[in-house]
Amino acid sequence: MNIIGNRIRLRDFTEDDFSFYNELEQNPITHQYENSAPDDAEIQDDFQKAISEVHDNPRERYELAISLKDDGTPVGRISIKLNWSEIREWEIGWALHPDFWKNGYATEAVELLISYAFSDLNAHRVVAYANTENAASEKLMIRVGMKQDGVLREVRICKGKWCNEFIYSVLEQEWDK
């Protein structure tokens, strides 16, 4: 898998990416809106799962590296997975290393992967979830053209207390990027 944008490339992870992946997942900011960060074993398992899913056919989950197009520097990760085959709904999620925030890389990555979902995965609907306190993710969802479907009340435990989540979506007939 290789999707090339103006400034970034979305590509499958390789074994050489583990150091970056581990650093990203261990960064407290990556999981600040979740109940806890993954431990070392979970990070290793998640990475190996991303590596092995490259060979799935049909592929129902893509965990991709976001890297700079010019020099290949990894800057984050983005994923999309099939949620509900009957309605062709795919769920997208992302995490960008804080050193690369505020450069538009996450926006470009999300737009590239949503476009791929509609053009190559036969998606009808792409959804994203975010903790209602995660203003940056909500702004990104709005920026790429997603619309709020609603608020899921107290659907997760976050830092020991119940938290709410936004759900945003975009439909294939709305996507024009």
Which residues share a beta bridge with 126? 90, 170
Round to whole Å and give the CA distance between 58 and 29. Answer: 33
Other Cβ atoms closer than 10 A to 113: 25
Per-residue pLDDT tens over the stretch 22-81: 999 999 888 888 877 788 999 999 999 999 999 898 999 999 999 999 999 999 999 999
Residue 142 sits at the vertex; the CA angle it makes with 147 and 136, to the nearest 5 degrees, is 130
**Among the listed residues 84, 91, 98, 109, the one whose alpha carbon sits nearest the alpha carbon of residue 10:** 109
- Per-residue pLDDT band at 159 (split at 50, 70, 90): confident
- Contact (Cβ atoms closer than 8 angstroms) between residue 79 and residue 58: no
Look at residue 32 in the predicted model and tell me its pLDDT. 84
Q: What is the pLDDT of residue 173?
A: 96
**Cα–Cα distance for residue pair 140/111, rounded to 1 Å:** 10
Tell me phi and psi for residue 163, to 5 degrees: -135, 160
Map residue 78 onto helix, strand or coil: strand
Dihedral angle of Cα 115, 81, 34, 72, to the nearest 10 degrees: -60
Judge contact between 3 and 9, C-beta under 8 A. Answer: yes
Dump pLDDT digits (tens) for 99-135: 999 999 999 999 999 999 999 999 999 999 999 999 9
